[in-house]
Amino acid sequence: MAITRNADAVAPVRKSSPLAIWFARHLSISVASLGRLVRHPFSSFMIILVIAVTLALPAAINLIVKNAQSISGSWDNALDFSVFLKQDITEDQAAGLARLIEQRADVDSVSFISASQALADFKAHSGFGSALDQLPNNPLPHTLVVRPGAGNTSGSMILLQEELGNLPEAEFVQVDTEWVQRFHAILDIVRQAIAIGAALLAIAIVVIIGNTIRLDIENRRDEIEVTKLIGASNAFVRRPFLWTGFWYGLFGGLLALGLVYYGLFLLHGPVARLAGLYQSNISIAAMSLEEALAIVGVGVFLGLFGSWFTAARHMRRIEPR
How do beta strands 143-148 and 81-85 pair? antiparallel
Helix 178-219 to helix 234-277 angle (10° resolution) is: 150
207: nearest Cα among 105, 106, 98, 303: 303
Count the neighbouring beta carbons within 10 Å of the beta carbon of residue 245. Answer: 28
Domains and CATH numbers, the chain: 27-74+182-315 (no CATH), 80-176 (3.30.70.3040)
Closest CA to 228 of 321, 133, 105, 103: 321
Report the predicted TM-score, pTM, of the whole model to 2 decimal places.
Answer: 0.64
User: 248-297 pLDDT, tens per residue?
Assistant: 999 999 999 999 999 888 887 777 776 666 555 666 777 888 889 999 99
What lies within 8 Å, CB to CB, of 272 at 6+ separation is none
pLDDT, one tens digit per residue, over 211-250 is 988 888 888 888 887 887 887 777 788 888 899 999 999 9
In DSSP terms, which residues pair with 84 in a beta bridge?
A: 143, 172
Determine contact, residues 224/20, Cβ cutoff 8 Å. no
The Cα–Cα gap between 257 and 262 comes to 8
pLDDT in tens, 18-32: 777 778 887 888 888
